[in-house]
Chain A
């Protein structure tokens, strides 16, 4: 397939790795922000063949992982109501709530449906006018336009039995929070290419210059990730801290203006609780008043107070890069994808799931 195969070429990958080896002279810690990149690094074995000077730190870019537990509980509560069809992305179903997950609710008879797109949920609402259809809308800036578009469609078509339970998170404030954590020591970042596809690169210039860190907007195929690392290492060795775009075949400097416009039409920036990390100021989206009829929180009177979570899961330390998944005492033992203690073991973008499935560390103990 065009624009895919060439970014998975093992010979080329080795050549770029050689260039990284030639370039690096001292230890550097580089965070890949997005869980998709974590999976690419681990699944393709890149992490095992990087020079020892380079430590990859896995960032918080897993929307499923950071969705606050009280919203998981709220989604389960909604799903258990007889007149509600609760829809979400597949990854959300195994994420542990306080007592159970959505899959268990489904086993108990709740109408829980896995969808590929929020636009399908609008169609389900249209086909089931006597039911309430709620889409559990989680995601970063990449997913926000599709979630927003579903509300625009519902409003335009007068579909009153559709709403979303929204949990949106934003990358730049998370990068800032990670940098400001006194325990973290990150020299450079691979920014999430698909987030920048929507938002553009503009938000990263002030971060790079304020904190003096190189930021390379990077794609997800093996060649993308390795090239992104090379670009960061080159900057680190030279002492520069620019924003560069490795993923220029997809990411335009200004992002996608139609997508940004629809986000602005439906959402506004708000403080957001990140599971395992806590509240980060101005790091999420809430639904604007002009779309409040489609806000499940208001429609069903859901409490938005986040209770303190008691858990053995160390997801916060994992997502801030303070610990590797295999350093968790429960990894691969008490916590597996089938019986997860926390979300990073479940999600296709979770660091623990990447290590469990692909790194071999799951069977080393």
Chain B
């Protein structure tokens, strides 16, 4: 396991998914935005045909 500095991401909390580049966490994955991407793809009328798309969308907790 590699360690990563959180100095550039002071708001990161346990359980967050973060992007780490050369040992430094630089961004937190935004679940809402990830969801929007798939909603956009659904809008173009394509994703709806995918059987397992629901599993891609972040669960609301």
Contact = CB atoms under 8 A, between A and B. Distances in A.
A256 B36 contact: no
Contact of B22 (A2, A11, A146, A246): A146
A114 interface: no
B17 A2 contact: yes
Interface in B1-30: 2, 5, 7-10, 17, 19, 21-24, 26-27, 29-30
Contact of B26 (A2, A3, A118, A259): A259
A134 interface: no
Interface string B41-58: 100101101100000100
Band of interface residues on B: 20 to 34
Given A3-B17, A12-B46, A117 B23 contact: yes
Chain A interface mostly: helix
The 8 closest A-B pairs by CB, nearest first: A117-B23, A15-B46, A6-B56, A249-B34, A248-B33, A146-B24, A249-B33, A258-B8
Interface of A: 2-3, 6, 9, 11-12, 15-16, 18-19, 89, 116-120, 139, 142-143, 145-146, 149, 194, 197-198, 227, 246, 248-252, 256, 258-259, 262
Given A3-B29, A19-B44, A146-B5, 10 more contacts: A9-B56, A15-B41, A16-B44, A116-B2, A194-B21, A248-B30, A248-B33, A249-B29, A256-B9, A256-B27
